[in-house]
Amino acid sequence: MAKVTASQVLWYVPNQIGYMRVFTAILSFFLMAKHPIWTTWIYGISCLLDALDGTMARKYNQTSGFGAVLDMVTDRSTTSSLICFLCVLFPRYAPVFQLLISLDLSSHYLHMYATLSTGGASHKTIEKEQWLLYMYYSRRWVLFTVCAFNELFYLALYLYGFPQLKHFDVPLWGRAHIGGVMAAVCLPGYVFKQVANVIQLKRAALLLASKDAEAASEKRA
């Protein structure tokens, strides 16, 4: 059987999809200031490709550590970049957005680091006792839905920053901006994601602290 080379891994089908995600995300960054509709479509395509790379990895048996890291880094980079622009649109709420970026980055980094440090094969392998995280990571439809609502919520806030965009007449609400309607619909899924981030951060901290405690106990023995 032929030996698999590093170059072949870099050009696995799911990794090629990952590169397309990076390209579309960067393109959306350059359009954000003046082209909200184009930005929404292109950024949305980048997010939809996130659901495709995992499917292709399983279909072609092309899972890889590089692909997993590329996927997570792209997720965090695209979301953080969009939130950075929200700080420009809504400077009054910049501290809130900064806290959200910090929570997102720290919880995912610590979670992956703790998983690898404790011998875990994947950051998506969660014990059933952590029921919320277990449901989030073990059921693909939950993971996809929650992540979609999370991204759509931030996109809704982005659109809300352009008052010239379309408004709707909503029963019992009145005249509403398209961004406001989207944000209201996506809010439950968005809140779920932030709660999951907090639980994930706590779990990772406990895993690392437990490992440190075992190491310290062995030294004293």
Element (H, E) at 177: strand 174-177
Q: Give the Cα separation of 18 and 12 in Å (integer).
A: 10
- pLDDT, residue 177, reads 82
When pLDDT is cut at 50, 70 and 90, the band that residue 170 belongs to is low
Domain spans in the chain, listed from the N-terminal domain onward? 1-89, 92-221
- pLDDT, residue 174, reads 65
Q: Give the Cα separation of 9 and 69 in Å (integer).
A: 13
Among candidates 159, 192, 8, 185, which has minimal Cα distance to 86?
159
Percent of the chain with pLDDT over 90: 51
- pLDDT, residue 135, reads 75
More confident: 59 or 138: 59
Contact 102, 173 (CB under 8 A): no
pLDDT digits (tens, 9 = 90+) for 96-137: 999 999 999 999 899 888 888 877 655 555 666 666 777 777
Percent of the chain with pLDDT over 70: 90
pLDDT digits (tens, 9 = 90+) for 179-195: 888 999 999 999 999 99
- pLDDT, residue 172, reads 56
Q: Residue 215 pLDDT > 80, yes or no?
A: yes
Is 44 exposed, middle or buried (CB count within 10 Å of its CB: 0-12, 13-18, 19+)? middle
- pLDDT, residue 125, reads 58
Q: What is the pTM of this model?
A: 0.87
The helix-helix angle for 36-59 and 13-31 (nearest 10°) equals: 170
Q: Tell me which of 50, 53, 71, 75 is the catalytic residue.
A: 75
Q: Residue 1 pLDDT > 60, yes or no?
A: yes
Q: Residue 210 pLDDT > 70, yes or no?
A: yes
Q: Is 71 a catalytic residue?
A: no
When pLDDT is cut at 50, 70 and 90, the band that residue 207 belongs to is confident
Average pLDDT, the chain: 87
Q: Give the Cα separation of 64 and 111 in Å (integer).
A: 18
